């Protein structure tokens, strides 16, 4: 580290120690609450408005529903994390399917060509959703690396209705991210999009061209 950089960092640390962050007024955020069913509906409306698709399922039948979707869409290869509980259930359901499961269980350097050229879809779990704005919360890690949701042209994301929060603020509180944020956190609202070219919104320019949320209805009182 250069002497100039060290001096700048030292001044920033000293200034931070003398100037504590002001207390935040969170009354407005705390007052935003909806019933569980309303949270689901708000999330669906927000995400559907940016071309997100939904596949409804129950706690027990979502693997079979996902298999039927893959076969109906003619998917050849589905990339997934085999070490997660959802990944294990998916592997059991996909046995004998014409859609081949490809486990993401090795460094990306060992199968980079296959990942970018042969994989049709990637399956991930989520840690929750945000009703207010419509979005999925992911915490990629060794079992489900970031590229699993970034590279394949189709992203299949498993979301349990019971994990949908009112706001991003309430989600951060519930997940404990304020005290111990994960090394990598994502909020995804829809398939990839950009307006960089002539300020015209275009979908699928980079990253997944489609986002399909496997919405598991596990709310209390809902039949399995």
Residue 11's pLDDT is 77
For 172-221, the pLDDT digits (tens) are: 999 999 889 899 999 999 986 665 666 665 555 667 999 999 999 999 87
Domains identified in the chain, total number:
1
For 124-171, the pLDDT digits (tens) are: 999 999 999 999 999 999 999 999 999 999 999 999 999 999 999 999
Residue 114's pLDDT is 94
For 1-50, the pLDDT digits (tens) are: 578 888 887 777 776 655 555 666 666 667 789 999 999 999 999 999 99
Dist. CA 97–CA 150, nearest whole Å: 24
Residue 197's pLDDT is 62
Q: Is residue 119 part of a domain?
A: yes
**Helices marked H in 118-167:** 147-150
Residue 196's pLDDT is 61
> What phi, psi does 49 have (nearest 5°)?
-65, -15
Q: Say how many C-beta atoms besides its own lie within 10 A of residue 60's C-beta.
A: 11
What CATH number is given to the structural domain containing 94?
A: 3.40.50.10420
CA torsion angle for 118, 208, 103, 124 (degrees, to 10)?
Answer: -170
Dist. CA 112–CA 41, nearest whole Å: 38
Q: Is residue 83 part of a domain?
A: yes
Q: Is residue 224 part of a domain?
A: no
Structural domain that includes position 181: 34-216
Q: Is residue 113 part of a domain?
A: yes
Q: Is residue 206 part of a domain?
A: yes
Dist. CA 118–CA 97, nearest whole Å: 17
Residue 27's pLDDT is 66
Dist. CA 88–CA 92, nearest whole Å: 6
Residue 104's pLDDT is 97
For 39-91, the pLDDT digits (tens) are: 999 999 999 999 999 999 999 999 999 999 999 999 999 999 999 999 999 99
Q: Is residue 94 part of a domain?
A: yes
Within 13 Å, how many C-alpha atoms sit on residue 156's CB side? 26
Q: Is residue 62 part of a domain?
A: yes
113 pLDDT tier (thresholds 50, 70, 90)? very high
Of 185, 167, 191, 214, the residue nearest 31 (C-alpha) = 167
Q: Is residue 174 part of a domain?
A: yes
Residue 224 has pLDDT above 50, yes or no: no
């Amino acid at each position: 580290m250069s002497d100039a950089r060290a001096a700048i960092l030292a001044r920033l640390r000293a200034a931070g120690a003398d100037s504590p962050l002001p207390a935040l007024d969170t009354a407005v955020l705390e007052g935003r609450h909806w019933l569980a069913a309303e949270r689901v509906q708000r999330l669906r409306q927000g995400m559907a408005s940016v071309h997100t698709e939904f596949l409804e399922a129950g706690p027990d039948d979502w693997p079979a529903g996902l298999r039927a979707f893959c076969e109906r869409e003619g998917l050849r290869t589905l990339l997934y994390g085999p070490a997660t509980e959802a990944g294990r259930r998916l592997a059991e359901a996909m046995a004998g399917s014409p859609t081949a499961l490809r486990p993401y269980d090795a460094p990306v350097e060992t199968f980079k060509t296959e990942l970018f050229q042969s994989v049709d879809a990637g399956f991930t779990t989520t840690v929750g959703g945000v009703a207010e704005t419509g979005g999925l919360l992911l915490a990629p890690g060794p079992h489900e690396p970031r590229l699993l949701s970034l590279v394949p042209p189709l992203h299949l994301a498993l979301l349990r209705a019971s994990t949908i929060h009112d706001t991003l603020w309430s989600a951060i509180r519930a997940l404990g991210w304020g005290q111990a944020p994960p090394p990598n956190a994502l909020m995804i609202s829809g398939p990839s999009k950009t307006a960089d070219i002539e300020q015209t919104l275009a979908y699928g320019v980079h990253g997944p061209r489609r986002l399909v949320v496997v919405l598991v209805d596990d709310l209390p009182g809902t039949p399995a």
